[in-house]
Structure formats: structure tokens, C-alpha cells
Amino acid sequence: MIVLSVKNLTKYYGSELILSNINLTLSSTDKMAIIGRNGAGKSTLAKIICGLEDYDQGEIYIASGMKVGYFSQESTLNSELTLYEELQTVFQRQLNLKSQLQDLERQMNDGKSIDFDFYTRLLLEYEDIGGFVFEYQVETMLNKFGFHNRFYEKVSHLSGGEKTRLALTKLLLEQPDILIMDEPTNNLDIETVEYLESFLKAYKNSVIIISHDRYFINQIANIIYEIELTEGYLYQGNYDNYLVEKNKRYQSLLKQYELQQKLIQKEQEFINKNLARASTTKRAQSRRKKLEKLEIIKNPQVDDKSINLKLDVNSDTGNIVLEVQDLAIGYDKPFVENINFLIEKGERVAILGANGTGKSTLLKTINQVIPQICGKIRYGARVEIAYFDQDLSLLNSDKTVLDEIWDEYPTMLEKDIRKLLGNFLFTGDDVYKVIHNLSGGEKVRLALAKLSLKNANFLILDEVTNHLDILSREVLESELLNFPGTILFVSHDRFFIKKLATRIFVIKDNNVIEYNGDYDYYLEKKQQEEVQTIDVKANPNSDYELQKRLKNEQKRQAKLITQLETEIKQLEEEINELINFSQTEEVYSDYKKAHEVHQLIESKQKELDEKIHTWIELIE
């Protein structure tokens, strides 16, 4: 079933063409990723579909009765509510029914007579709309999206990023028929992104995501829609397939274009040669008319305009670049303690961990932005550091783009600064823009321009891919792979981590855990650690014993899941039987029996909720 159709849509901002002849369709089970460079019109298209922006030409069809949900980086939440109350607003119908049922139950407890038919109808409706599970759903989502132990905190106390994350959580609970999300993985740590992926994979309705997160797109999308040079191109499959198919499409169009150009040249030569001759003029005129009617194939263009980043070093370091001993980091009190590690020349070390575990704090401490609480930080011989701060606090927001470079490098000529800034897509009057008026992507590009001037041999990078489009991320990855120095970085971009990291540090439970391998090695070890929960007295170096333990644990979990599914089904049947029994004259005519049956239903429902909770934890 087609739930959304866009036909020949065109959009201008003033005289500037943003989108031209956009055509796409979305079925009820499609999960589409809209990609394209920053400023290509992706967010504009999403807002047009949601009715938040107008358009100049074209048609948009949304199937009757379809609810469209839209998530952007601009949250609209009630700051006076608690986090729990804000998410509960999604379930207003359930809350109203619960209030009515509780009022009737209070009357029963006070010995007053009630309309049992009405009570039973309310109870059945309450069950049908998920009244017995919605509170558990709210709690689960708050926990999964990083709001542990903060249920009753006011929304007004949240940071901007946390409010955005809460708005995403709320929209997912609403479960619209068409779920549209603009950069949903921003402000999420890897663990939360992985949960979002599992949620969206199981989501039964249509999904449109706008994202630069290639790993995320690859996991979710079955359609890629690319906006390039104002036009849209649709590719079936995930991101990996898109890369293959886009190249095939370009090569095919290029071949058609070249063949047609040869044909046109040949025909034009014939016309020029034979038009003046009396014997051949008719044939030349005929061929000229055919040539004039020929539908010209355009020279296929690729929007490959991106940053031109070059990283070099002034000098080489010694073999040891950084040594940390018994380090404790934090502000008023230790955040992470007993940190010990050694980084050698040429390594590219990624620091992973949930939001709030101290990743950025560790980088700031190593770079001496904040002091360590205790311990030692030793730099190797000839180490020169360049630091990229995710908050971009090293930029002076009141300066122009040009002055930001010139004030720090006063001996540089203006033409050289302009050439540098041109490499980072600041051209013409762009250099006179004031930094606080720049977009997130423009600020990151300016920070990278400054980084490239350092010629440092040790890069400390905190979320350097934030706000960059896919093409810019690819340029950055390529340059960092060829960088002759050492890199220590924090990122939640798994594609970026997978491509770059030679070693992984994970901050968990106030400790730094080292994995002496790349991202795939880390994932493999992490999976083993998650499965390996039984303490068996065996030789820890024995591969056979390890495999045996893993298989036994998998069998135990599979058996427990099957058992729980049987028990859940049985409890659901028992609850339905009790609800049906409560509607019989035998029950509703006897107040005492009706109260007993209701208490039994509540008890069974509580038991069911607990078993569902255990089942969800096991399958995750």
C-alpha cells in the first residue's frame, strides 16, 4: 500500500532553486534514507511533506487516515512537566480510562454500587489499547535513551541535546504511520543508536530518515533517495548497494552521453558538408530537422564539491607519544579513576562509552584544558598537539571567518588565507561572515581549517564528524588514514571508527578498558563478554572450554525464552478468560466476587508485565 507520493515537486527560496522535479513513493513497510550534502534540501523536503513548509509546484499525496510524525533538532516539550509526565502525554486516552477505572474501583471499595457492564466495557477497552503496559513502555524508553533515575526531573533541567533526545523518545512512543526523522542519531551514544536501530527494524510502519550516519543508514534503509544538484535519485537497497548502483548509473549515463555526442558531431559534419550542394541539400535539411528534434542527453554531473583537507607534521615524535599512569579525571570529584595506558607513534585510538561516562573529560584532561585530580600524564619526545573540541569553544564567536585565521597567523597574506578558506568552501564574501552566524557544519569546517595549519603530530579529536555531510566525512577519513602522526579520538560514528581505529578504549563503570584491535575485534570481544555470564571452573586459555561455555549459555537462554513465551501466552489467555468471566451475571451481580475477580486480573497482569520485561531483556 502506498502511503506517501511526491510528484514533480519544485521549491524555490526567492530566486534560488532548491528542489526540482522531486518524485518519490513510499509504501507502508518502506524504510527510506534521504541523503545528500549539507544544504542540498533534505530537511526542506521533510518539512514540505509534513506540511511545515510550502512549495511552488507539484503534488503531495498522503493516504487517508495516515498520521505523520516528524522529529527535528528543534524540540517542542512542556518544560513544566517531569520527563515521565511528558512521555505519558502520548497515552492520554489510556490515562483517561485509567482515571475512570480507578474512580469506579474507589466506589466499589467504599461499598457503593456501580454499573458493572460499564466497568467491564471500560476494562476491556483499557486492555485493548495497551492500558496495562503503557507505563512500562514509558519506563523502558526512558531507560534505553539514557534517562536512568531521572524520571521525575523537570524537562526544564535538561540540556539542549537531552531535550532533543527526549523529543525523539516521545515520537517513537507515538508510533506514527509515517515516521520522519531528521538526524536522529545526533546526541546519541553508540549503545542508544544500536537500540534505535533494533526499534526501527521491528517498526511496522513507514520510516523516512535524514542522516549522514552511514552505518545507521546501512542497518535501517531499504531505499536510498539522494538529492544532488536539486534533483532526486532513488536507489533500491541499503547504503552499500547505493554506492554500487550510483556508480553504475553514472557510468551508464556517461556512456550514453558520449555516444550521442559522437552521433551529433557526425551528423553535423554531414549537414555542413552537404547543405550547399544541390544534389544533397534535401537530405542535409532532413537530417538537420531530425537533429533539431533530438532529445539531448545531459552530461552527467556529480556534486563532488567538498573540503580539501591536507594534514602534515612539522616533525616526527619518538616511539612513545603519550603515557598515562594512575590518572583520575573529573571536576569536583573523580569521574574515572586508575586510568593507565600507553599510546605509541602511528596509532589511531578510539575512545568509546555511553554519554556522560567521561570521554570528553578525558580528552580535555590530556590536552590540559582541565587539570587532572591525580596521576601522571607524560608526553613523548617532540610531541605537538592539535585539539578539536566538539563544543567548538576554540572559535571566537564574535570574529569573522577571515579574522579568526588572520589574528592567529598575522604573517599570512590575505590571498593565502582566502585560498585556505576556499579549500573549506568559504568563498567570496563568506569570509566576512561572523562566526556566531555560521551553521554547525560551517563552524566545523573552519575549525578543521585551523587544525590543518597546526602541522601537529598528535591529533586529539572530539566528535570531529559532527555536522559534516557524508562527502566531507569521506575526505576527512581519507586524510586521517594517511596522516603520518598519531590520533586519539572520540566518536559515535561507527563507520568512521571502523575505518580509522587501530585500538579501542572503552570507558565503562568508571574504568578504562583496552581492546588491542580494531572495531571489528572490539565487537567480537564485546559479544563474547555479553554471552559469557556463567562462571565455570575451567582453563581460561582453552578455546574448547570457552566455546563450550558460550554454547551452553546460548542454549540456556534459548530454552528460557521459549519457556517465557509459553508462560506469557498462558497468562494472556487466563487474563482474557477472567475478563470474560467478569462480564457474566454470576460476577457482576455479586459485588464481593466482582472485586475478587478484579484483584485477580491485576495480579495476573502484574505477573505478565514482569515476564514480558524479562523476555525483552533476553532477546536484546
Lowest mean pLDDT: which of 218-227, 466-475, 530-539?
530-539
Is 322 or 127 the better-scoring residue by pLDDT? 322
* Spatial separation of the C-alpha atoms in residues 617 and 551, rounded to whole Å: 19
Provide the CA 597 distance to its chain's centre, in angstroms: 47
209-232 mean pLDDT = 96
pLDDT at 552: 65
pLDDT at 619: 62
Instruction: Give one word for 20, left, alpha or beta, with left for phi > 0 and alpha for psi -120 to 50.
Output: beta
* Spatial separation of the C-alpha atoms in residues 138 and 583, rounded to whole Å: 30
Crossing angle of helices 239-274 and 281-293, in 10° steps, is 160
pLDDT by residue (tens digit) across 414-445? 999 999 999 999 999 999 999 999 999 999 99
pLDDT by residue (tens digit) across 277-319? 777 788 888 888 888 888 888 888 777 788 999 999 999 999 9
φ, ψ for residue 52 (rounded to 5)? -90, -15
Burial of 130 (0-12, 13-18, 19+ CB in 10 A): middle
pLDDT at 333: 84
48-63 mean pLDDT = 96
Alpha helices in 221-325 (DSSP H): 239-274, 281-293
pLDDT at 369: 93
Residue 595 has pLDDT above 90, yes or no: no
Residue 3 has pLDDT above 80, yes or no: yes
The residue written with cell numbers 493516504 in the block is 63
pLDDT by residue (tens digit) across 354-409? 988 999 999 999 999 999 999 999 999 999 999 999 989 899 999 999 999 999 99
CA angle 340, 505, 345 (to 5 degrees): 75
pLDDT at 576: 76
Residue 92 has pLDDT above 90, yes or no: yes
Instruction: Judge contact between 498 and 519, C-beta under 8 A.
Output: yes
pLDDT by residue (tens digit) across 153-205? 999 998 888 899 999 999 999 999 999 999 999 889 999 999 999 999 999 99
pLDDT at 543: 58
Task: Tell me the DSSP string of 81-127.
Answer: SBHHHHHHGGGHHHHHHHHHHHHHHHHHHTT----HHHHHHHHHHHH
Instruction: Judge contact between 108 and 595, C-beta under 8 A.
Output: yes
φ, ψ for residue 113 (rounded to 5)? -85, 145
Average pLDDT, the chain: 89
For the chain, percent of residues with pLDDT exceeding 90: 65
Kindly state the DSSP code that residue 133 receives in the 8-state scheme: T
pLDDT by residue (tens digit) across 509-564? 889 999 999 999 999 998 888 776 444 444 545 555 556 556 666 677 777 777 88
Question: Is 320-533 the same fold as 1-77+174-237?
Answer: yes
Residue 73 has pLDDT above 90, yes or no: no
Residue 232 has pLDDT above 70, yes or no: yes
Per DSSP, the three-state class of 534 is coil
CATH no. for 1-77+174-237: 3.40.50.300
Residue 468 has pLDDT above 60, yes or no: yes
pLDDT at 547: 61
pLDDT at 534: 44
Protein fold of 320-533: Rossmann fold (3.40.50)
Is 54 or 539 the better-scoring residue by pLDDT? 54
SS3 sequence of 329-397: EECCCEEEEEEEEEEECCCEEEEECCCCCCHHHHHHHHCCCCCCCEEEEEECCCCCEEEECCCCCCCCC
456-467 mean pLDDT = 96
Q: Which long-range contacts (CB under 8 A, 24 or more apart) does 21-25 make?
A: 21/58, 21/231, 21/232, 22/58, 22/227, 22/231, 22/232, 23/232, 24/225, 24/232, 24/234
Element (H, E) at 583: none
Locate 290 and state its grid cell: 531530425
Task: Tell me the DSSP string of 149-211.
Answer: T-TTSBGGGS-HHHHHHHHHHHHHHH--SEEEEESTTTT--HHHHHHHHHHHHH--SEEEEE-
- Strand partners of residue 374: 328
- Other beta carbons less than 10 A from residue 157's beta carbon: 12
In one-letter notation, the amino acid at residue 600 is: L
Residue 565 has pLDDT above 80, yes or no: no
Residue spans of the domains in the chain: they are 1-77+174-237, 80-157, 244-293, 320-533, 542-618
